[in-house]
Structure 1
C-alpha cells in the first residue's frame, strides 16, 4: 500500500498542521498546508471557490492532470490523491467542500551541489532530470512553469510537481504572460506560445544555476527580458566545462537553434 493510499485508514491522525501559503497567494484564495501522519509528512493543496478565477482554474487544471493519471503508471509523478473535502471530516475545520490534492513531502532534487563531488555522479543526476522531463513531454504535454523547486526527489528518483500551467501541446494557447520571468525563454517575452523548447530553456536556467551555485537576478519584467534576450552569457567553473555543450544547446536564444527535445539534450549530455 502506498504512502498516499494508506493515509485514510482508521489510524489517520494528522499532526503539526502548518500553513505554507505565501501572503499574496493566500489573499487570492490559495491554501497550502503541511502535516504529519505517523512518521510521514504530507502536503495539502486547495483553492477557495469564488476568490480568484484564474488561480482557481489553474488549480483545477492541475487536479485534472492528476485525475487523468490515477489509473496509469506515470513514473515522473509523486504518489498522490485527489480528495473531496465533504467526505473527510478530519479537514472540516479548514474547508467544508471542494477538492484538494494530497502529496507526500519530498526533497529538493537539485540539492546542494557540494554533496556531489564526482563528475560522473553529477552527470547521472542531470540525466535523471532530463529523462523525467522527456517522459513528461512524450505524453504530449508541456509543463509551462518549470522552476528549480518543481524537481523533487522521492525514493532516489526525480519527480515533477506543480502542474498548474501544464497543457497538451497540440491544444496550446499558453503564452509567456503566465510564466515566471526568471525562467522564461526569450521568445515568450515576444508573446510566442510556450512549447517543449521553452521548457528546455527553463531547464537550462535551472541547470546553470545549480552548476554555478548562483542565482540570476533582475528587478523588473523589462530587466528579465533584457537578460534573457540579449545579456545572458554562459560561464561555468572549470570543473564543469564538459557541460557547456549541453547548456549551450538548451539556452540558445533563437528557438530554431535550440535543442528540439529532451532526448536530443540527453544525447548531447552523453557525448560530454
Structure 2
C-alpha cells in the first residue's frame, strides 16, 4: 500500500501587491473550522476535491474548479475525496477588487453569487497568476494577476444586484452593537451576558441573532475576530506572544492552534511571509 501524500503548505506575499497573500497547499486530514475573512478568498483546486460550506450551501469543488468566498462569508473546508485536495489560493482585499471594478466600469464593490465556478479559462489564468506571483519582473506578476481578476469580475461578479433589503427584525442593528462590544473587549473576557446587556436583550436572543445573521455561534464569531486582530498585529511586527495576549488568547500555543485550524498555516509562517 502506498504512503499517503504528506500535507504541505506554503504562504507568501505577491511581488507587485504586498498586501495580497497567497497559499499553496495540499491537505488530506486537515479541516478548516468555520471562519470569515475581511477580504476575498479565491481558490483554484489543482488536485483531488474539497468540500466547503459557504454560508448555508455545501459545495464539492473538484480539480479544475474555482472557489470564491466573499468578504465576511462564513465558511469551512475539508477533504471531499479520500485523497484530499490541493489548491492555490489568493486573498485579495476589498480595496483591491473595488479599485479594479472601478477601472472596469463596475458600479459596486464586487460580489460573487456563485461559490463554485466551472470556468476553464479563469482556472488557466489563475494558475498562471499564482505561478508568476513571485516573478522578479514585477510588471509580469502584476499583469497576470490583473488579467485573471478582470475575468473573474466581469464574468462572475454580480454588477446589477439590487439594494440591500431592509432589516425589520432588529437583528442586524443588534449585531452591530455586539461587534462593537467584542472589538472593544477582545483582550479580556467576553460573555453572553455582557453582549445581552449591551443590546438590551436576553442571552438566548444573542444566540439567535448570531445564528440568523452569521450561521454560527457567538464563541466562533469572537474567536474569528481575535484571529483577525492577531493577524493584523503580526503583520505590523508584533511578536507572536504579544499578538496572542493583545487579541485575547490564553497564550501563544492557543493562538497557534486556532490560527492553523482557520488558516491552514502557523502564525510563524504567516509572519515570515510579511
Short-chain TM bin = under 0.3
**Greater RCO (CA < 8 Å, at least 6 residues apart):** 2
User: With structure 1 as the length reference, what TM-score do the two structures score?
Assistant: 0.22
User: With structure 2 as the length reference, what TM-score do the two structures score?
Assistant: 0.22
